[in-house]
Amino acid sequence: MSVKRFRLTPSMRTQIIASIRSGGYPHVAAASWGMPRPAFDDWWSRGVAQDAREPYLSFVKDIVEAQAQARLRAEMAVFEAEPKIWLIHGPGREAPDNPGWSVSVKPTEASIEGRNALLDPELMQLFRTLMDVLDPYPEARDKVAQALIGVGAEPPDDV
């Protein structure tokens, strides 16, 4: 079937737009109602062109409108079922110029003093990685292990 000879019937167009409005991707909705992907791409290109004409122009307009309606339905469903998720991810989310409800306040540490950085799991993983890298160099590995012990860090178990 040639792209140039493809004819979109009114009933097929109605079904495609309804499928998109129901949440389908445009090219999938079109294919499911008999419009091949190359034909859909051709119609879309013609409809978004600077000098777009009918019936392509209104077809693209209807697709964009149907996608917006599907998205709005999804957003409304999330708002109804999971308002917290809507607040975090939806239009109610926090932005620099729009204080919102979305960001949880993180507790601040009362004091950095008295905190043992050597108990940090990420730092301990760094030490393990360093020791693994030094495996081919046993003398250097031993010196690093002794240095870690000297500052109060326990070397990885396999030292």
Confidence category of residue 101, pLDDT binned at 50, 70, 90: low
Q: Decide if 100 is inside a domain.
A: no
Please report the pLDDT score of residue 18 as a whole number: 97
**Partners of 131 in the β-ladder:** none
Q: What is the CA radius of gyration of the chain?
A: 30
71 and 133 housed in the same domain: no
Please report the pLDDT score of residue 129 as a whole number: 85
84 and 133 housed in the same domain: no
Q: Decide if 50 is inside a domain.
A: yes
Residue 44, burial from CB neighbour count under 10 angstroms (0-12, 13-18, 19+): middle
- Please give the average per-residue pLDDT across 128-145, as a whole number: 84
14 and 84 housed in the same domain: yes
Q: Decide if 104 is inside a domain.
A: no
122 and 85 housed in the same domain: no
CA nearest neighbour of 69 among 35, 31, 19: 19
- Please give the average per-residue pLDDT across 20-24, as a whole number: 96
85 and 15 housed in the same domain: yes
18 and 84 housed in the same domain: yes
Please tell me the distance from the alpha carbon of residue 84 to that of residue 92, in angstroms, as a whole number: 10
Total domains in the fold of the chain: 2
Residue 134: give the domain boundaries: 117-150
Q: Decide if 47 is inside a domain.
A: yes
The answer to whether the beta carbons of residues 155 and 149 sit under 8 Å apart is: yes
Q: Decide if 30 is inside a domain.
A: yes
Share of the chain above pLDDT 70, in %: 78
Check whether 51 has a pLDDT greater than 80. Answer: yes
